[in-house]
Amino acid sequence: MEVSLENSSQLSQVESEDDEDYLYNKETDESTPLASRRSKNCCGITPWLFITTSVCIYGSSFQFGYNIAVVNTPEKVIRHYFTSRNVTMTDFIWSAAVSITPIGGLIGAMVGPVLADMFGRKSTLLWNNVIVIIGCIFVFLSHTVTSTGLLIIGRFIIGINNGIDTVVVPMFLSEISPTHLRGAVGTLNQFGIVFGMLVANILGLHQVLGTSTGWPYVMSFSVVPAVIQFIILPCCPSSPRYLLIKLNKESLARQELRKLQGTYNLEQVINEMKVEKVKESKEGTITILQLLKTKSLRFPLFLSVLLQISQQFSGINSVMYYSTSTFRRAGISDPDVATCGTSIVSILMVGISVFLVERLGRRTLMLTGLAGMFFSYGLITIGYALEDEHDDLKYVAVVCTFLVLSFFQIGPGPIPWFMMAELFSQGPRPAATSIAGSANWLSSFIIAITFPSIQDALFPYVFIVYMVFIIILWALIYVFVPETKGKTFEQISRELRRKLKHSINNEHNDIDEN
């Protein structure tokens, strides 16, 4: 009886929320004829939206991608630099310098949304540049004074910066973008990441800066985009949603919204924010503990964590780990140069994803990307297993490496980051992105720690493990994740409440039958 009363209370709460939104949603729902006519005349990209997005991507997303890849190409040079000067550089110390970054990222992902809620999205990104500059100074000094300890500390500090970027950038981009461009703008976050990886791979080549004197400049190059963003970002508009909903500055929010999205549909967007503000004022600031206790928010939180985990457990990092040896087996004389080719392919595929995400939808691209990775892994496994008997199969592994990267950049790469922000209203969004972003970094750390053991135990069948993960993740996404293409934050929230209401009804009926 107590369970039944609890379910009835939750159901009444969901129905009450739906009733409050009925009039608003009737006017703004994109399925209505009025909304359909409006959608055909949606505003394009305004100059300020272009500038703000570009500065955000180059100054933040770029840094994240750059610092992921920067340790790969000059690894041998860096390790030789220390050992040649009688400084201990064991496999453990190098692993610490590499794996310490995800730990810093985990911390950054936890505190980033809290800072963004306290000081604003733009201010958080702005002062986050100070963190990465400090980290780069430590890394550069590790070369000057020949200290592996400074290298590890610097990489840890840079990881904190990256963690903050990964959760605040998608939040900021989703809040400054018009509904019909939110997916495309959100996907550009991934474009900045893979572009950063490409630049890191190029600068790390021995023909460029991957030398005993050049590697500190490669490892601390993040200072450049940090300084550029620190100069330009203050001139860019702030998040209108944050200004109106959190700070109650409607006049300033209207001004910033006009800069970012033009005058088209201005009042409708403002009214949507006001509806969200009313809800946010009733809910108050949602802490992580409150988020976990609120049943109506657990489902979107589950979806956010699911999407973030699927990105890492798709096995993309293992493919990048094997790429150099795969290219070497195929007879490529300089596999580091070929690795730059993988980054170029990634950029091209993200560019395609930008155009597809608002046409085919997030859910479709996510499922397509995971399915493509599954079949590509199968072919790579066959290529590795039979390459001694059939020499030509080594080329199959090369082709499939590019296929895996292509499918990843279509869906699992860009989509989890901005869908994480789409699934929540203003109140619970910081706490939710903190949990989901932390899940991503924790998953990355788990993969980094366990992969060498999996490699030693299962090669050449190591990718079968990730194929199993993909099957499970694909099925969960297919069943639970809704399509958010072309929907406002309020419409997404309403659809999730309906799913919860349906779930509560089913649970209530099951209890009555028993």
Residue 467: band (very low, low, confident or very high) from pLDDT cuts 50, 70, 90: very high
Residue 508: band (very low, low, confident or very high) from pLDDT cuts 50, 70, 90: low
Residue 374: band (very low, low, confident or very high) from pLDDT cuts 50, 70, 90: very high
Amino acid at 358: E
- Among the listed residues 498, 506, 502, 505, the one whose alpha carbon sits nearest the alpha carbon of residue 25: 498
Joined tokens for residue 130 = 């100070």
- Among the listed residues 271, 285, 308, the one whose alpha carbon sits nearest the alpha carbon of residue 423: 308
| pLDDT higher than threshold 90 for residue 252 | yes
180-198: pLDDT as tens digits: 888 889 889 999 999 999 9
Residue extents of the structural domains in the chain:
46-236, 287-513
Return the CATH number of the domain spanning residue range 46-236: 1.20.1250.20
Question: Which pLDDT does position 81 carry in this prediction?
Answer: 94
Helix, strand, or coil here: 89? Answer: coil
Percent of the chain with pLDDT over 70: 85
| pLDDT higher than threshold 80 for residue 17 | no
- Return the HEC string of 231-270: HHHHHCCCCHHHHHHHCCCHHHHHHHHHHHHCCCCHHHHH
> Which CATH number is correct for 287-513, 3.40.50.10800, 2.40.128.690, 1.20.1250.20, 3.40.190.10?
1.20.1250.20
Amino acid at 141: L
What is the average pLDDT score of the chain?
84
Tell me how far apart the alpha carbons of residues 164 and 497 are, in angstroms, rounded to a whole number. Answer: 29
Joined tokens for residue 102 = 């995800």
Helix, strand, or coil here: 213? Answer: coil
| pLDDT higher than threshold 50 for residue 322 | yes
Span 162-175, mean pLDDT?
93
Instruction: List Cβ neighbours of 247 (8 Å cut-off, separation of 6 or more).
Output: none
Residue 511: band (very low, low, confident or very high) from pLDDT cuts 50, 70, 90: low
58-108: pLDDT as tens digits: 999 999 999 988 888 888 899 999 999 988 888 888 888 888 898 999 999
- Assess whether the region 46-236 and the region 287-513 belong to the same CATH fold: yes
